[in-house]
């Protein structure tokens, strides 16, 4: 397999080892799904996991024929499947929150640097405007005009910033997935599709 595509090598190794294939160029975490496969947690937080992965439970259970199982074995299998589902939902929520936090942290750092540079620009621009207006109406009145101007700018920016924060999505995939659990527990899986 020398000279082959790294993704193809990873897929071949995964099929041999029983592990989900992982794209070596991706920075997204793998999240295990029922049925043994792996799903890549997408960037952006909308839509289904990339690769079309879904939570598929085995139709006949691990023992093949479900009618050959005792009631205790059935309860144990249901308990095991429910435990697996809950662990998967927690992993999905963690992965989604991690991706969102990294993206928000990077943006916040850049905004902090831009804010500092903008602060210096505003400071020296305001001093220049204050002195320029001071030659026309006096330094005291020109300082008041510049202060009122920046008060209006601050009010507009605060209003728009609050609006942006309110429109920030949380974790839509996790929320959607958690809404489906009660129907699945009641045996109404077809309503979740």
Is the Cα torsion angle 90, 96, 99, 102 positive or negative in sign? negative
Q: What is the pTM of this model?
A: 0.34
Distance of alpha carbon 152 from alpha carbon 146, whole angstroms: 10
Nearest to 41 by CA among 83, 88, 73: 88
Q: pLDDT for 169-180, tens place per residue?
A: 777 787 778 787
Average pLDDT of every residue of the chain:
73
Distance of alpha carbon 50 from alpha carbon 96, whole angstroms: 13
Q: pLDDT for 10-47, tens place per residue?
A: 555 444 444 444 555 555 555 544 444 444 444 444 44
| Residue listed under structure tokens 């929150």 | 97
- Percentage of the chain beyond pLDDT 90 is 21
């Amino acid at each position: 397999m020398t000279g082959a595509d790294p993704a193809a090598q990873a897929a071949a190794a995964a099929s041999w080892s029983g592990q989900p294939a992982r794209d070596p160029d991706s920075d997204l975490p793998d999240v295990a799904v029922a049925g043994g496969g792996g799903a890549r947690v997408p960037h952006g937080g909308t839509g289904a996991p990339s690769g079309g992965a879904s939570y598929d439970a085995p139709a006949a259970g691990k023992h093949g024929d479900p009618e050959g199982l005792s009631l205790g074995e059935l309860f144990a299998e249901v308990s095991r499947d429910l435990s697996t589902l809950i662990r998967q939902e927690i992993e999905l929520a963690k992965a989604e929150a991690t991706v969102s936090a990294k993206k928000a942290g990077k943006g916040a750092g850049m905004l902090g640097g831009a804010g500092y540079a903008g602060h210096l620009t505003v400071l020296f621009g305001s001093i220049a405007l204050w002195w320029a207006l001071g030659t026309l109406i006096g330094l005291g009145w020109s300082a008041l005009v510049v202060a009122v101007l920046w008060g209006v700018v601050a009010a507009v920016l605060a209003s728009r910033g609050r609006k942006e924060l309110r429109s920030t999505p949380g974790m839509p995939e996790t929320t959607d997935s958690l809404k489906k659990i009660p129907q699945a527990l009641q045996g109404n899986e077809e309503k979740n599709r």
